[in-house]
Amino acid sequence: MVTSWPPNFPGHGVSAIRLARRLGELTGGRLDIEVFAANELVPALEVLDAVSRGAIQLGHSAPIYWRGQIPAAQLFGSVPFGMTPDAFNAWLFHGGGLELWREAYAGHDIIPFPAGNTGPQMGGWFNREINSLADLKGLKMRIPGLGGEVMRRAGVLTVNLPLAEIFTALQTGAIDATEWVGPYNDMAIGLHQAARYYYYPGWQEPSGALELLVSKPAYETLSAELQYAVETACIAENSYLLAEFNTRNHDALKTLTEEHQVELRRFPDDVLEALQRYSLEILDELAASDPMAARVYASYRSFSAKIEPWLRISLPSNVPSGNAR
């Protein structure tokens, strides 16, 4: 298994190791998986290509990185202003989302499995205050996926950097801002030492899905029992990691604000309103440009609208979980 994460990185990297170990234990050692961190065998952003070529049997990464190869993949990573993890998982397992995910990757000889979720993320770290939409113009920011497309429309100069390069780029001024995940992961790489302002909400990733990429030819050599073990282990890790992030994000945010005096800020309402408007434009354009993306987005929107009335009355905050449309 190759991953997009540094060795033993909290959350993502440890999740990949735990998933490999769980598969070994579930199968009595019949599935023996060796995990390689980013750049040990494959660069962080080339995991999908390595598995697609059949050079590697498994990859652990995130769908938001495959915009160039599979435009629709971004919609399985996270949709700006979209569904939160519970609603997203409901769509995957009970609304046809997982079937579409696998269809989107089929041309690359890959079977994707949901294998973790970071939960709602933060809006990012900034070295200057964001008081209006004008403050975003000309800002150089590391932000991938659909969120990056939205920020570009707002006048931000966006780049996509692998995790290992983010801190140095922010610290040296090569970028002015970055988003990564949330307090747990962000503190682990020291972003609080490189930027002053920490903004929320994470409009760009209200749900951050991770994936296990499985080589289809390799998977088809497995018995039905071993295939079921892969599916079961991924479902377990998908739930476990979300619980971990929710717990550790709370603890880390308390440390960041109380011990490191990080300035926690909320994006102004007019900025969020503009970003949501741009998000809808970007999503419509993506759907118009790619037939698979159009089908995925139509399904996503339909399920979001279907589940929203229940979420409106069931969530303690009485705030809808999905607002993709």
Q: What pLDDT shows up at residue 323?
A: 52
Q: Tell whether 135 is covered by a domain.
A: yes
> Is 196 inside any structural domain?
yes
- State the total domains in the chain: 2
Distance CA(70)–CA(89), nearest Å, equals 21
Same domain, 113 and 132: no
80, 64: one domain = yes
Query: Of 220, 248, 276, which residue is a domain's last?
Result: 248
Are 103 and 229 members of one domain?
yes
CA distance 151 to 136: 8
Q: Quick one: 156 and 232 in the same domain? A: no
pLDDT of 320 reads 45
CA–CA gap between residue 225 and residue 229 (Å, rounded): 6
pLDDT at residue 321 in the model: 47
CATH code at position 266: 3.40.190.10
**Of 248, 275, 303, which residue is a domain's last?**
248
Do residue 80 and residue 39 come from a single domain?
yes
Identify whether residues 177 and 211 lie together within a single domain.
Answer: no
Query: 90 and 55 in one domain?
Result: yes
Question: Looking at the domain assignment, is residue 297 inside a domain?
Answer: no
User: Is 307 within the bounds of a domain?
Assistant: no
pLDDT for 60 equals 98
Is the domain of 221 the same as that of 142? no
Same domain, 53 and 141: no
The per-residue pLDDT for 234 is 98
Digits of tens for pLDDT over the chain (325 positions)?
999 999 999 999 999 999 999 999 999 999 999 999 999 999 999 999 999 999 999 999 999 999 999 999 999 999 999 999 999 999 999 999 999 999 999 999 999 999 999 999 999 999 999 999 999 999 999 998 899 999 999 999 999 888 889 999 999 999 999 999 999 999 999 999 999 999 999 999 999 999 999 999 999 999 999 999 999 999 999 999 999 999 999 999 999 999 999 999 999 999 999 999 999 999 999 999 999 999 999 999 999 999 999 988 887 654 444 555 5
The CATH number of the domain holding residue 36 is 3.40.190.170
Per the structure, the complete domain to which residue 43 belongs is given by: 2-120+207-248
Question: Torsion angle, CA of 210/214/219/223, rounded to 10 degrees?
Answer: -30
